Amino acid sequence: MTELNRRTFLGSTLIAGTAAAALQAAEPSADVSQIGKTPHTKFAVNVEMWWTKLPFLERIKMAAKYGFPAVEIWPWQGRDIDAIAGLSKDLGIAIAQFTGWGFTPGLNDPKNHPDFVKAVTAGCAVAKRLNCKLMTVVGGNDQPGMTQVQMHDNIIQGLKLAAPIAEANDVTLILEPMNIRVDHKGHCLYGSAPSIRICQAVGSSHVKINWDLYHMHITEGDLCGHLKEGIETKTIGYLQLADHPGRNEPGTGEIYYNRVLKEAYDLGYRGFVGLECRPKGAEHDAAVAVAKADIW
């Protein structure tokens, strides 16, 4: 080991050790504002799954209190968008992404494409109000009488219709593949390969993948290998995570997120990573566990 490499190694070790010690000492009653300010990964707390006993806007305040740079939400319908926009601006916390089109009606059925285009148009207007650049869209559950290839081709056609709207508004539609083993049996899109194929077939800079590492792990494993493929094909628009089993925070299951997040960072990913996970116990403990997953 050269002297330069030795210094780099010792410096990195000292930083990691200091960060770990600080996190270990953090208590809910102490100043927790630094916990979410991680050195490598920019985490976005899913406020549909964190602090669920609090009113919605209070959850955003809690994410900001813990120093997280962003939050993510599910469907915008029924939310007070102006209140969310105003609060996020006041707190200096970003809205990383929201859901613009869910499971039903299915994007994989052509009869729903006119409504999909309308939803994307409306969602782009909401995105501007939230100063948000990403909107999740979902492929839909299996359609009777259709093969998987047919359903995927229908998704491609629907996305091609909406892509010009997304491009004109500089909002990226992020298509989310699910897993069908645990959470979403009967869903038509799962795994990285078909998702990459769909994005490449659409051929738009504003149509990419909401690459949920939890779903990908359950579906196909080899998270780092497939991440490399997604980065190389320029089809990853956003990352999310949860551990497995349980869909809880990192460190509660079998995924070694320190390694996976380092791989994403080393591959050049600098976007937000959504915490679409349910805290196993107290949110404070989950926040500390998330921060520890960014130490390497």
> Could you read off the pLDDT tens digit of each residue along the chain, which spans 296 residues?
544 444 444 444 444 544 554 565 456 668 999 999 999 999 999 999 999 999 999 999 999 999 999 999 999 999 999 999 999 999 999 999 999 999 999 999 999 999 999 999 999 999 999 999 999 999 999 999 999 999 999 999 999 999 999 999 999 999 999 999 999 999 999 999 999 999 999 999 999 999 999 999 999 999 999 999 999 999 999 999 999 999 999 999 999 999 999 999 999 999 999 999 999 999 999 999 999 999 99
Tell me which amino acid residue 219 is: T
Burial (0-12, 13-18, 19+ Cβ within 10 Å), 250: buried
The region, left, alpha or beta by phi > 0 then psi within -120 to 50, assigned to residue 67 is: left
Q: Are residues 13 and 55 in the same domain?
A: no
Residue partners of 296: CB distance under 8 A and separation at least 6: 16, 40, 258, 259, 261, 262
Q: Are residues 16 and 163 in the same domain?
A: no
Q: Are residues 9 and 128 in the same domain?
A: no
Query: Structural domain tally of the chain?
Result: 2
Q: Are residues 9 and 137 in the same domain?
A: no
Reading the block at residue 224, the tokens are 């780092």
In CATH, what number is assigned to the domain containing residue 168?
3.20.20.150
Return the bridge partners of 172, or none. Answer: 134
- 């501007």: which residue's tokens? 128
Q: Are residues 184 and 103 in the same domain?
A: yes
Q: Are residues 8 and 124 in the same domain?
A: no
Reading the block at residue 104, the tokens are 């039903």
Q: Which domain holds residue 72?
A: 31-292
Q: Are residues 46 and 3 in the same domain?
A: no
Cβ 294 vs Cβ 257: under 8 Å: no
DSSP for 183-215, please give it. T-TTBS-BSHHHHHHHHHHHT-TTEEEEEEHHH
Within 13 Å, how many C-alpha atoms sit on residue 11's CB side? 6
- How far apart (Å, rounded) are the C-alpha atoms in residues 126 and 134? 11
Q: What is the pTM of this model?
A: 0.92
